[in-house]
Amino acid sequence: MKHPRFSLALIALAAALAVGPTHAQAKVLRIAFRTAETGFDPQRIDDRYSVGICENFFEPLLSYDYLARPVRLVPLTAEAIPEPEEGGRRYTFRIRPGIYFADDAAFKGVKRELTARDIEYSIKRFRDPRLRSPYEWLFENKIVGLDELAERAKKSGTLDYEARVEGLEVRGKYTISFKLKEADYNFLYVLAMPNVVPVAREVVERYGDDTMGHPVGTGPFILKEWVRRSKIVLEKNPNYRGHELDTRYANPADEWDRAAIESLKGKVLPALDRVEIFPIEDEQPRFLAFLNREHDILDETPFAFIHQVMPNGKLAANLAKAGVKVFREEQPELTYSVFNLNERQNDGVDNPVGGYTPERVALRRAMVLAYDRDREISVLRKGQAIAAQSPVPPGVVGYDGAFRAGAQDYDPPRAKALLDMFGYVDRDNDGWRDRPDGRALQVSYKYNAGSQENRQLAELWVKSMNEVGIRVEAEGVQFADLLKDKKVGKFMAASSAWTADYPDAQNFLQLLYGPNSGQSNEASFRLAEYDRVYERSLAMPDSPARNGLYREMNRLLLAYAPWRLGVHRIYNHLQYPWVKGYKKHPILYTNFKYLDLDTAARQAALK
């Protein structure tokens, strides 16, 4: 039968090719991403991985030092970090001359230098109704005159980019001065975000609707090749001026810093010629690909395989032999379950967990105590997470390590005692606790049906609540529906999460600020004392006094329990030995511009 011989030949051929094409001596880094990208127009994207790739195309005014921990702002396209003027309401920047955009047909062969005009144009793009920018809120009632311009644009449908905006004052070719409505000590962080970057107007107008596919910036890399949701290739930007590793803030005790300094000292960066990125949604293939040496770095090792990589905390023998290094990073993010504090859902359904009376607070506090968070961390996350003590994750300005939230620990007896005390007992002995006024108690918990992890978290929720006699029904909904239901208040309890946009506690605490209800404040938590303390904290720069106010807000959160605090996840990033200069930054998603590759070592390892 001729068939078997044919398949044998096929397998032999495949094995030979599986080694993959090795460019002569070009340094090609291959890495996989956890989810697919959407596009590369900085003002129009907000998903983590697209923004991460944009960090390599564009350059904001300020950025973060590669090695400094905790994180420190450093100037990038700006010459220096400006001192706040007029009581923190004005910042003036001088742009470093000689910074050029990458070549593009839109510039008609002429080398295009970065000017203040580009900064002004890019900030205005956030308020252009046609672009529907997900980060429009960054510049809402922030810059003097910008809101009025945006209002006019909404009516007419298009934004007038020529219009003068008082708060965006261009003083000459390289100088721009921002005037804020009120003092905002986090404004500098906003200017360091990878989205708040200058784009050339000619490029935007030339590609119109397809700006997602034509990122033209002053950054170290350019987009060479892009097969949507399958392969993204970056290559060195010929026009890039080059940069060096700044070792001022390096910490000699940190072995990552030492390794980075030793391999990158004195080199003109970026060292990599080419970066190939493969989005792989499924965990198993992404993990196996790294083990098969098809990729050089494995960012965010899937929890499921943690015991294969680090059996009881130590690197597995086979990986250690191959010289793999593990970088342990505490994510600046928070997972939490949010309760709807309105006494009625928006569709009129009565919501037993809503309300501020002691009776309702007791129910929420009991549910928080009844949730088995320890098992979530040990079984579901395999120990790769820290139990959150407050909304503010570690590594973020305003994080208080000494704050210990006893009220959020797993303690079923206290939960049962609290329920009995406030009259939540089983009256019609159907095995489920009823409400104090006799009506049946039925709480619905909404989660995103799309992922297996969410389903198991929901399973743990239902199991934990059943242990203490509360009847909970878990309802899986589509991702888009979950977002909508949480925004309009059509839920009782639901799963949620928040990643830091900029490294300040205020980015998390604003989630419980009363006026934000209906937007980021999904719980619609309206507590007068909390709001007063929050407003006072806005007007203060980072200081012990401000930390005191943050502590006050955390205590109010624990008392009224609008949330059940979840975890801050810990990610382990793996790299093969031939990847040099690796150090994961808490805020910046990618670090390609600081990496180097020892192609000879990789060549040997692949034999």
HEC assignment per residue over 475-490? EEECHHHHHHHHHHCC
Return the range that interacts with other proteins (CB under 8 A); candidates 167-175, 250-258, 263-271, 455-463.
455-463
Contact flag: residue 133 with other proteins (CB under 8 A)? yes
Looking at 389, 495, 537, 591, which residue binds other proteins (CB under 8 A)?
A: 389
Q: Which CB atom, from 401 or from 438, has the smaller least distance to other proteins?
A: 401
Amino acid in the structure at residue 335: T
267 lies in the binding site for other proteins (CB under 8 A): no
Looking at beta carbons only, is 174 or 530 nearer to other proteins?
Answer: 530
Is 38 a binding residue for other proteins by CB under 8 A? The answer is yes
For residue 235, give the 3-state DSSP assignment: strand
Residue 342 exposure: Cα atoms within 13 Å on the Cβ side: 19
The DSSP string of 400-468 is -TT---GGGS--HHHHHHHHHHTT---SS-SSS-B-TTS-B-EEEEEEETT-HHHHHHHHHHHHHHHHT
How many whole angstroms separate alpha carbon 390 and alpha carbon 439?
34
d(CA 558, CA 220): 45
Compute CA distances 295 → 225, 259, 286, 422, whole Å. Answer: 18, 21, 9, 57
Kindly identify the residues of this chain, within the stretch 196-255, that bind other proteins according to CB under 8 A.
209-210, 212-213, 227-231
Q: Minimum CB separation from other proteins for residue 96, in Å?
A: 31
| C-alpha to C-alpha distance for 604 and 461, rounded to whole angstroms | 49
What string marks each residue from 270 to 299 as x (binds other proteins by CB under 8 A) or -?
--------xxxxxxxxxxxx-xx-x-----
Q: Which of the residues 392 through 451 are near other proteins (CB under 8 A)? A: 401-407, 409, 411-414, 416-418, 420-421, 449-451
Q: Looking at residues 152 to 171 of the shown chain, list those that interact with other proteins (rule: CB under 8 A).
A: 154
Stretch that binds other proteins, among 77-85, 252-260, 474-482, 572-580 (CB under 8 A): 474-482
Q: Whose Cβ is closer to other proteins: residue 38's or residue 599's?
A: 38
Burial (Cβ within 10 Å: 0-12, 13-18, ≥19) of residue 70: exposed
Nearest approach in angstroms of CB 179 to other proteins is 23
Which residues between 495 and 524 bind other proteins (CB under 8 A)? 498, 501, 516, 518-520
Asked whether the beta carbons of 216 and 199 are under 8 A apart, the reply is yes
**Comparing C-alpha atoms, which of 248, 197, 259 is closest to residue 59?**
197
The residue from 4, 5, 11, 438 that contacts other proteins (CB under 8 A) is 11
Q: Decide if residue 603 touches other proteins (CB under 8 A).
A: no
Rounded to an integer, what distance in angstroms lies between the CA atom of residue 74 and that of residue 426? Answer: 61
**Total interface residues for other proteins by CB under 8 A:** 127
Residues of this chain, 87-116, that bind other proteins according to CB under 8 A: none
Residue nearer to other proteins on the CB measure, 348 or 401: 401
| Least Cβ distance, residue 411 to other proteins (angstroms) | 8
Residue 543 touches other proteins, criterion: CB under 8 A: no
Binding marks (x or -) toward other proteins, 339..358, rule CB under 8 A?
-----------------xxx
